[in-house]
């Protein structure tokens, strides 16, 4: 199917030649006019996908508990700021703010910094977070130096990845070209730096240059200023040398579609390599805690107890809703095991 963006991409490829997978993904997600996050209502039943904070307030409340624990571990700095990367509709921050209402000694001085590159989503966030002490940025570079807790829920999976493809005993960058009807994959320049050989023909290795550089920047910041980082996403913990195969997927109205089918109108994501995020944290001198599943993390923070408390005063319908959303968040067959949680601290407090 053609979309306004598919026509732009086709013209671009005709004029300048094939583009890399990463360039394709970046344009699909963030083309100023037709990029997915710039133009489309992504979240919820009417959108294309649902995220943990959109499922239940329980999620944000548990993150609020984690923030209090981390703040205590950091020695209760009184100039703490809370940064969230890719806040979507602002729902997580709204629930966190309410969750922190029992801790005025933390909340009263807390400054919130949101990093969001979509002007449309910034507007949605401004509506949903009216009255909160929030500053918006389009890039993390603009965040000021001070003790900081950084949150990234379903942020890293939205960053463009590149793919290398193995052909006749060499690795090449995987590219995208186009004919009059469709987009097609193509071989690009040979790639140095991948040391695995003897792979089956057309094996694919995915790498994430933008996630890598953002993670380096975040950990460097946390190390210098003291702080912690929480990254929650769908992904895996495979060692990089065993991590072959492609994971890019496109979602449109809660269904998987081909990545070429609806450029700009389907959400493109890729599995996050948590082994690589943890390695970066350690290289930057921070401490990455052992990776947990979302189920382990939320259970440890007391999500079941909190749900029981809410159930005590819930109507029958609310109770049903609550139980279903608890299951969605922690059931191993739903988000519980696929979603992973990485905690990084500036030192071993």
Binding site for ligand SAH (CB under 6 A): 37, 51, 53-54, 86-88, 92, 115-118, 121, 153-155, 158-159
User: What is the distance between the alpha carbons of residues 177 and 172, in angstroms, rounded to a whole number?
Assistant: 15
**Beta carbon of residue 306, minimum distance to ligand SAH (angstroms, whole number):** 19
Helix (H) or strand (E) segment spanning residue 298? helix 294-300
Is 92 or 175 the residue whose CB approaches ligand SAH more closely? Answer: 92
Q: Which two tokens stand for residue 115?
A: 């990093």
Q: State the minimum distance, in angstroms, from the CB of residue 333 to ligand SAH.
A: 20
Shortest distance, position 171 Cβ to ligand SAH, whole Å: 26
- Listed residue (308, 297, 286) closest to 330, CA to CA: 297
For residues 71 and 61, give the distance between their C-alpha atoms in angstroms, rounded to a whole number: 15
The pair of three-digit structure tokens given for residue 194, joined into one six-digit string = 């991948």
Shortest spacing between CB 97 and ligand SAH, in angstroms: 15
CB-closest chain residue to ligand SAH: 86
Smallest separation (angstroms) from ligand SAH to the CB of 88:
3
57-73 vs 91-99: helix axis angle to the nearest 10?
Answer: 60
The torsion angle over the Cα atoms of residues 128, 130, 134 and 139, rounded to 10 degrees, is: 40
Which lies closer to ligand SAH via its Cβ, residue 158 or residue 275?
Answer: 158
Number of other CB atoms surrounding residue 138 within 10 Å = 12
Q: Which two tokens stand for residue 252?
A: 């449109």
Which residues on adjacent β-strands are paired with residue 81? 111, 148
Q: Residue 297 belongs to what H/E stretch?
A: helix 294-300
318/336 Cα distance (integer angstroms): 22
- Phi-psi label, residue 340: left if phi above 0, alpha if psi -120 to 50, beta otherwise: beta
Comparing CB distances to ligand SAH, the nearer of 159 and 330 is: 159
Smallest distance from ligand SAH to CB 230, Å: 12
Question: d(Cα 191, Cα 171) in Å, to the nearest integer?
Answer: 5
338 vs 156: CA distance, rounded Å: 15
- Provide the 3-class DSSP secondary structure of residue 62: helix
Name the residue among 43, 55, 47 with its Cα closest to residue 95: 55
Structure tokens at 227: 């702080």
Shortest Cβ 309–ligand SAH spacing (Å):
24
Other beta carbons within 10 Å of 274: 20
Q: State in angstroms the smallest separation of the CB of 183 from ligand SAH.
A: 22
* Min dist. Cβ of residue 22 to ligand SAH (A): 12
Q: Which is nearer to ligand SAH, 61 or 116 (CB)?
A: 116
């Amino acid at each position: 199917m053609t979309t306004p963006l598919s026509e732009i991409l086709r013209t671009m490829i005709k004029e300048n030649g094939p583009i890399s997978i990463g360039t394709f993904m970046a344009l699909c997600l963030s083309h100023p006019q037709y990029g997915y996050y710039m133009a489309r209502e992504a979240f919820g039943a009417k959108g294309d996908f649902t995220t943990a904070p959109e499922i239940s307030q329980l999620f944000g409340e548990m993150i609020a508990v984690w923030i209090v624990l981390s703040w205590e571990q950091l020695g209760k700095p009184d100039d703490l700021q809370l940064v969230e990367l890719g806040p979507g509709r602002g729902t997580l921050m709204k629930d966190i703010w309410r969750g922190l209402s029992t801790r005025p000694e933390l909340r009263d001085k807390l400054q919130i910094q949101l990093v969001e590159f979509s002007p449309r989503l910034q507007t949605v966030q401004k509506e949903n977070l009216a009255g909160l002490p929030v500053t918006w940025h389009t890039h993390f570079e603009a965040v000021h130096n001070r003790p900081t807790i950084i949150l990234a829920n379903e942020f890293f999976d939205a960053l463009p990845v590149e793919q290398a493809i193995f052909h006749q005993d060499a690795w090449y960058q995987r590219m995208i070209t186009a004919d009059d009807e469709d987009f097609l994959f193509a071989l690009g320049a040979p790639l140095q730096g991948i040391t695995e050989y003897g792979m089956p023909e057309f094996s694919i290795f995915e790498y994430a240059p933008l996630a890598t550089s953002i993670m380096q920047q975040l950990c460097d910041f946390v190390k210098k200023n003291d702080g912690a980082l929480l990254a929650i996403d769908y992904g895996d913990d495979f060692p990089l040398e065993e991590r072959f195969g492609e994971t890019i997927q496109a979602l449109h109205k809660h269904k998987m579609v081909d990545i070429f089918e609806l450029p700009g109108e389907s959400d493109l994501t890729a599995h996050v390599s948590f082994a690589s995020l943890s390695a970066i944290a350690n290289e930057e001198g921070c401490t990455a805690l052992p990776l947990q599943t979302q189920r382990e993390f939320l259970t440890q923070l007391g999500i079941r107890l909190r749900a029981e408390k809410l159930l005590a005063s819930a109507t029958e319908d609310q109770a049903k809703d609550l139980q279903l959303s608890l299951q969605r968040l922690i059931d191993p067959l739903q988000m519980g095991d696929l979603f992973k949680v990485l905690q990084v601290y500036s030192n071993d407090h």
